[in-house]
Amino acid sequence: MKNETDLISTGSQTVGPFFHLGCTDPFSVPVIAGPLVKGEHIKLICTLHDGQGSLLPDAMIEIWQANAEGRYHHPEDAPNPEMGSDFRGFGRLASNKNGICGFETIKPGRVPSWTDVPQAPHFVISVFARGVLKRLATRAYFAGDPANPEDPVLALVPADRRDTLMAYADTSEPGTWRFDIHLSGEKETVFFDV
């Protein structure tokens, strides 16, 4: 029989890089809104970084969004026959070897809030990555959108941290927005406790 002094500690197990095996392909959803969906068609490119700024090739992102009229593809949202089957309102992708996920979609509309002011257009994003035991929840807003200053959720974030929640237009690729997600470190993205 061994006593406690003979036992060897083993490393703790964190969430591993299994996303490519069970949570994505063939379950990837890169097209959130197809070509028949009404609205401004865009591409959202998300790039994932760890605390040292290195790219994460084995993470996964899920996105939820409203359609151009500010309605979600959800049974609890008011029925909308115009939604059609071409709008999922949901996307899921694993990051590639460069830490990138690219989604085809539309710019979401403004959705109601708990105040009289609707929320600015945004994506709700969940990040799953190695070493992360619970999903990280964040948002991506459109930099320069005139509704941003009155968004009640964005107003809860300290002014000097709001830029971590902004997707920026890619001037070299019209219709493309880029959103950098930093899991920790100096440029850490604001994550919400939901």
Contact 11, 131 (CB under 8 A): no
pLDDT at 189: 97
Q: What are phi and psi of 55, to 5 degrees?
A: -75, 145
pLDDT at 97: 93
26 preceded by cis ω (within 30°)? Answer: yes
Contact 154, 163 (CB under 8 A): no
Rounded-to-integer distance, Cα 191 and Cα 194, Å: 9
Residue by residue, pLDDT tens for the chain (194 residues) are: 556 566 655 554 455 555 555 566 667 899 999 999 999 999 999 999 998 989 999 899 999 999 999 988 766 665 555 666 789 999 999 999 999 999 999 999 999 999 999 999 999 999 998 878 789 999 999 999 999 999 999 999 999 999 999 999 999 999 999 999 999 999 999 999 98
Which CATH code of 2.60.130.10, 3.40.50.720, 3.90.1150.10, 3.40.50.2000 fits the domain covering 28-182? Answer: 2.60.130.10
DSSP H helices, 3-56, are 19-22
pLDDT at 75: 64
Rounded-to-integer distance, Cα 178 and Cα 166, Å: 9
pLDDT at 42: 98
pLDDT at 28: 85
pLDDT at 58: 86
